[in-house]
Amino acid sequence: MPREDIFRFVTEALTLPSAAGKMFSLCPSADASQLTEMRLAGCTRREEVEALLAGKITEKLSDEEEVTLTPEEIAAKEKEEAEASAVADAESEEEIAALFARAKKTGEERKKKLAEEEEAFKKKQAERAEKYELTEKGEDALKAEAEEDDEPPPPPPPSDAPPAEKGGGDGDGDGPLAAA
């Protein structure tokens, strides 16, 4: 089936209210006589799409199939198609159920992981708060000790060298002030 025909059909179907909520598949057909007749009658592509969606255009059996098939065989063929459709629907439902189960499992795992991360974050936050409290208590204890010690600091230890004379020399008298 040419891509252009598919694109035309889809484009027209998107603009039709009768196509809303419907699912369809486009497959090549050996019998295009009904579409040919519509085109010869002057129908537009929009009218063709509406007829396809309404089920007015159906695939006809070839002359050979019509001759060889009895009404019972046609009924059996329709029954097989209905059963195949039911099996496909059941498989689809199973697939959807499996997808939901997998999504639920993934959601539970993600929820568990987020709870673990939250718990780790709270634990780390508590450790930081405890460390901060210890630091504050340590500073408060140092301040309290400093306030208790009202005594002046002890004087610096005495040095063994003699004190220098006024004038800034080294005390031997040969400096610039001694000559004056």
HEC-encoded secondary structure of 6-23: HHHHHHHHHCCHHHCCCC
The per-residue pLDDT for 51 is 78
Cα Rg of the chain, angstroms: 49
In the chain, where are the structural domains located? 3-122
101: its two tokens: 């189960």
Cβ–Cβ under 8 Å, residues 27 and 1: yes
The per-residue pLDDT for 180 is 47
The per-residue pLDDT for 111 is 95
61 C-beta neighbours (distance < 10 Å), count: 14
pLDDT along the chain (180 residues), means of 10: 75 81 71 70 79 72 57 83 86 88 93 95 90 72 65 73 54 53
* pTM of the predicted protein model: 0.30
